[in-house]
Amino acid sequence: MSNKVDFTAMDHATKADYDLVFEHDEVNIQGQASRVVQWLRLMDGDSPYQISRLDHCLQTATRAQRDGADDETVVCALLHDIGDVIAPANHSQAAAALLRPYVSDKNYWIVLNHGLFQGYYWMHYFGQDRNARDQFKDHPYYQACVDFCAHWDQPSFDPDYDSLPLEYFIPLVEKLFARRAQSLV
């Protein structure tokens, strides 16, 4: 990029400076889907599971697709663990933050909380409360998150499952990230 802003501190900027910044941001936004697909490809490596993290995501999305979920939900199923690549210590929150400007409140909440809800299947092995998710029992999306985990996420570690390939989902990812991002500022 050859054009640069004139300021070295934000309080010295002009509207023209911010026009340039926002123009650059728009180009970045247009490349978001490609970066997300690259991050997914990074998940196709060594894993303690019988399948790669990418295969887990593909299985989860394939299950959602085959159950008749809408395209947005299928992409959320595909990307629910994308945080494993960019922020493993808080993968659910990272995935939810990535998706937030493009998805419904319901899908955002499910991705944000799926890690805690998945704890139902393993927390008791480590002396933790497997029912910790029940703190959200009265939340309108509680059951949807339980169902996401039970039907799509937790059974998707099967090396014999016939998942759809990543190429199948790329147009759905592109469609989602082509949406006008909701401003959250």
DSSP 28-48: HHHTHHHHHHHHHHHTSS--S
Mean pLDDT taken over the chain: 94
Domain of residue 121 covers: 14-177
Q: In angstroms, rounded to a whole number, what is the distance separating the alpha carbons of residues 73 and 24?
A: 29
Q: What is the token pair recorded at 12?
A: 């010295």
Residue 6 lies in a domain: no
Residue 125 lies in a domain: yes
What would the pLDDT profile of 166-182 be if each residue is shown by its tens digit? 999 999 999 999 987 77
pLDDT value at residue 108: 98
Quote the pTM value: 0.91
What would the pLDDT profile of 124-146 be if each residue is shown by its tens digit? 999 999 999 999 999 999 999 99
| pLDDT exceeds 90 at position 103 | yes
Total domains, the chain:
1
Residue 110 lies in a domain: yes
Give yes or no for a contact between 105 and 72, defined as CB atoms under 8 angstroms apart: no
pLDDT value at residue 21: 84
Give yes or no for a contact between 83 and 92, defined as CB atoms under 8 angstroms apart: yes
pLDDT value at residue 39: 96
Residue 158 lies in a domain: yes
| Rg (alpha carbons) of the chain, rounded to whole number | 19
Supply the CATH number for residue 134's domain: 1.10.3210.10
Give yes or no for a contact between 82 and 36, defined as CB atoms under 8 angstroms apart: yes
- Label residue 183 by pLDDT band (50, 70, 90): low
What would the pLDDT profile of 17-60 be if each residue is shown by its tens digit? 888 888 887 777 788 999 999 999 999 999 999 999 999 999 99
Which are the contacts of 128, defined by CB distance < 8 A and separation ≥ 6?
119
